[in-house]
Chains A and B, each alone.
Chain A
Amino acid sequence: EPEVTQTPSHQVTQMGQEVILRCVPISNHLYFYWYRQILGQKVEFLVSFYNNEISEKSEIFDDQFSVERPDGSNFTLKIRSTKLEDSAMYFCASSRRGQGAGELFFGEGSRLTVL
């Protein structure tokens, strides 16, 4: 069964450094998402991406964040200058359809630790 894959599984970085988290969505999916979960808190929406552009973003997704689909398979989340509060588990997800389908397929997550 196809799965969403994420790399790295864990990354440790210094505050102020740039980080890129990578995701390979399921191949026939058209909608891509990033969520994050700070330890002990809720899973929070960051951004959705469709047709090579952002379709919606949350208030968390400020100018230090960006997403890109550099080729036909990868979907990346870049954090330009990491802060301590960016430490979290970042989940990539994809879905086949837009409105009404309801099922997101999640990756296993990338744990980011900012020191």
Chain B
Amino acid sequence: AQRVTQPEKLLSVFKGAPVELKCNYSYSGSPELFWYVQYSRQRLQLLLRHISRESIKGFTADLNKGETSFHLKKPFAQEEDSAMYYCALNHRGSTLGRLYFGRGTQLTVWP
């Protein structure tokens, strides 16, 4: 069964500090992993996906199949990064939209 675990419900850092939001998954096949973000009073939106290997808003995430992890990292957090972050998994062979979400991590960046 597919499962996405985000162990931290809340995470607080100061502006300029590095931040890492953890995501672990369980899936026996080849997963597609995503990070979605929801800023205050805004809709859920895609932040990045592992297949793109891109950096968005200074965030990166590397798929580590050995550790079954897809942690989201940013070297210098900004106040505008405060939001709810969701890790999500889609398994190949499924219709695109069946994403399995983690419970989310609320990131607060203090000034």
Contacts and interface: CB of A to CB of B under 8 A. Distances in A.
A102 B32 contact: yes
Contacts of B86: 43
Interface of B: 32, 34, 42-46, 49, 51, 86, 90, 92, 94-104
A98 B95 contact: yes
Contacts of B101: 42-44
Interface of A: 3-4, 31, 33, 35, 41-45, 48, 50, 55-56, 58, 91, 93, 95, 97-109
A102 B46 contact: yes
A106 B43 contact: yes
A56 B98 contact: yes
A75 B102 CA distance: 26
A98 B96 contact: yes
A104 B97 contact: yes
B94 A103 contact: no
A56 B95 contact: yes
Contact of A97 (B92, B96, B100, B102): B96
